[in-house]
């Protein structure tokens, strides 16, 4: 096994090579990919920002990026997450100063929730814990895996006895502990969410806890994060989050950093990536300000195929994209129709109408019997069930009078008229399944 380091170049056959360039994101192994093909070089930034005072002292290799730009970049694919924000993103090192302030003279147990992938943020928590004589316990599977791997590879530097097992926290006083956990986005099954709900098996939140949520909500997660904060406060804990203090800085470039990368690379084509549509649009507008022709800026959506060479860049068809659902042993066999039926059952329930009919005369021999699941409680709705049976009998009688003997037509008629009746009576629309047995 060969470990690829930043700055390495990998040649894949005779067709293209991939070069890894340091991108100065808060994650040490985050890199820009320069992919050189027979038609030119494509630079993909990944998540990046330009940090002039990074935690590990390794600056972005702007010289190499400029060198590639002078040779000619065919296309630039650039992170758009902060494209609506002017100026520069704050340095990751600024968070460490605030951690020191919060740790200073704190007699409470400190719980810090952050992104598991943000190794430099974890390093700053480690630095403050060492400075103020606290042990660290780690909670959350992804956090445990990343911290252990980062220590093994030398990305996180700490004393040998700093980290303790989560089961050992009872051996230390609150002012001797820091707990690093996942759940900064309020994910339903994350460690911090379970702590806030009182469901965590190892950690119980008390009024003697200081909770630091070192992250800002990703768009769409605001409601979940707010609920976690509310639940933690209701348990009496002190909670510090991004709205109250600068406990988080973004790992994504703002407009001036985006302009810097465009100025260095001078791409022929520009493709904004990594963001909501409004952020992609804002990044495209920044590219226009930097002199890139509007005709050479392409907004992609999932599944669209973009063909690119030295002469032209154009959309050429689509490929299948979207979610692939895993259900039991099946992969991808649950589609929109099945999901729609499940949602229908979950919202309005199910009614099964069972009839036994004479195959010769078409007369009803037994039934109708009504089976209800998730619609109404039968024992408390006997009158409604009797009315349902009456409606079914009436529709069957009408079919007999009209000489309708086709079972598919009978089922359809019963289903449609019963659906209308139930909606008038209950304002609900349960799934109705008529079953006719012949004798």
Q: Is 252 an active-site residue?
A: yes
Same domain, 392 and 358: yes
What phi and psi, each to the nearest 5 degrees, are found at residue 125? -65, -40
- Same-domain status, 350 and 226: no
pTM over 0.85: no
Q: Which one of the listed residues 51, 79, 209, 231 is annotated catalytic?
A: 79
- Is 199 found in the same domain as 139? yes
Q: Do 352 and 221 belong to one domain?
A: no
Find out whether 354 and 435 touch, Cβ atoms under 8 Å.
yes
Q: Is residue 209 part of a domain?
A: yes
Q: Confirm whether 200 is a catalytic residue.
A: no
Distance CA 215, CA 207 (A): 22
Matching residue, tokens 């909501």: 276
- Indicate whether 258 and 286 sit together in one domain: yes
Catalytic residue among 25, 252, 274, 283: 252
Residue found under tokens 């380091």: 5
Going by their DSSP bridges, the two strands 135-139 and 109-113 should be labelled as unpaired
In this structure, are 150 and 190 located in the same domain?
Answer: yes
Contact between 136 and 129 (Cβ < 8 Å) = yes
Q: Is residue 323 part of a domain?
A: no
Co-location of 342 and 406 in the same domain: yes
Q: Supply the pLDDT for residue 144.
A: 92
**Which phi and psi angles does 316 have, rounded to 5°?**
-145, 80
Per-residue tokens: 432: 């109705």
- What is the Cα–Cα distance from 229 to 59, expressed in whole angstroms? 36
Q: Which class for 355: exposed (0-12), middle (13-18), buried (19 or more C-beta within 10 A)?
A: buried
Three-state SS for 367?
Answer: strand
Last residue of a domain, one of 318, 340, 359: 318
Tell me whether strands 40-44 and 31-37 are parallel, antiparallel or unpaired. Answer: antiparallel
Would you state the pLDDT for residue 82?
92
**Residue at which a domain ends, from 240, 260, 279:** 240
CA distance 192 to 113: 7
| Other residues' Cβ atoms within 10 Å of the Cβ of residue 408 | 8
Query: To the nearest whole number, what is the mean pLDDT of the chain?
Result: 84
Do 288 and 173 share a structural domain? no
Regions of the chain with pLDDT less than 70: 1-17, 22-31, 327-335, 359-362, 377-381, 405
Domain of residue 402: give its range: 330-438
Alpha carbon distance 373, 338 (integer Å): 18
Q: Are residues 105 and 147 in the same domain?
A: yes
Q: What is the pLDDT of residue 207?
A: 94
Q: Of 218, 240, 262, which residue is a domain's last?
A: 240
Q: What sign does the dihedral 295-300-301-306 (CA atoms) show?
A: positive
């Amino acid at each position: 096994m060969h470990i690829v380091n930043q700055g390495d170049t990998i040649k894949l056959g005779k067709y293209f090579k991939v070069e890894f360039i340091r991108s100065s994101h808060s994650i040490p192994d985050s890199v820009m990919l320069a992919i050189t093909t027979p038609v030119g070089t494509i630079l993909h930034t990944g998540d990046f920002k330009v940090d002039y005072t990074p935690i590990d002292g390794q600056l972005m290799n702007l010289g190499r990026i400029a060198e590639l730009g002078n040779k000619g970049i065919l296309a630039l694919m650039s992170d758009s997450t902060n494209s609506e924000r002017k100026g520069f993103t704050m340095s990751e090192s600024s968070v460490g100063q605030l951690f020191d302030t919060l740790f200073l003279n704190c007699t409470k147990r400190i719980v810090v929730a952050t992104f598991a992938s943000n190794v430099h943020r974890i390093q700053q928590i480690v630095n403050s814990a060492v400075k103020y004589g606290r042990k660290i316990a780690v909670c959350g599977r992804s956090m445990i895996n990343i911290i252990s791997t980062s220590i093994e590879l030398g990305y996180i530097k700490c004393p040998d006895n700093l980290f303790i097992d989560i089961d050992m926290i009872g051996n230390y006083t609150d002012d001797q502990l820091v707990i690093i956990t996942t759940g900064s986005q309020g994910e339903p099954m994350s460690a911090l969410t379970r702590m806030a709900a009182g469901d965590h098996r190892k950690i119980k939140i008390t009024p003697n806890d200081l909770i630091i949520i070192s992250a800002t909500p990703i768009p769409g997660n605001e409601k979940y994060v707010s609920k976690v904060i509310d639940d933690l406060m209701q348990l009496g804990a002190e909670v510090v989050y991004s709205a109250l203090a600068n406990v988080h800085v973004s790992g994504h470039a703002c407009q001036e950093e985006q302009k810097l990368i465009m100025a260095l690379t001078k791409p022929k084509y520009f493709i904004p990536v990594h963001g909501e549509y409004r952020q992609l649009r804002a990044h495209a507008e920044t590219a226009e300000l930097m002199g890139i022709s509007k005709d050479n800026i392409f907004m992609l959506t999932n599944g669209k195929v973009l063909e690119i060479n030295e002469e032209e860049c154009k959309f050429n068809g689509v490929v299948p994209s979207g979610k692939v659902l895993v259900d039991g042993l099946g992969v991808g066999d649950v589609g929109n129709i099945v999901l729609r039926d499940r949602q229908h059952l979950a919202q309005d329930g199910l009614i099964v109408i069972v009839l036994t009919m004479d195959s010769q005369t078409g007369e009803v021999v037994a039934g109708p019997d009504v089976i209800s699941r998730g619609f109404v409680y039968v024992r408390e709705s006997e009158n409604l069930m009797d009315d349902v049976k009456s409606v079914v009998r009436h529709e069957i009688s009408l079919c007999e009078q009209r000489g309708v003997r086709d079972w598919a037509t009978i089922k359809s008629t019963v289903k449609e008229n019963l659906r209308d009746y139930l909606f008038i009576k209950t304002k609900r629309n349960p799934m109705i399944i008529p079953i006719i047995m012949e004798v």
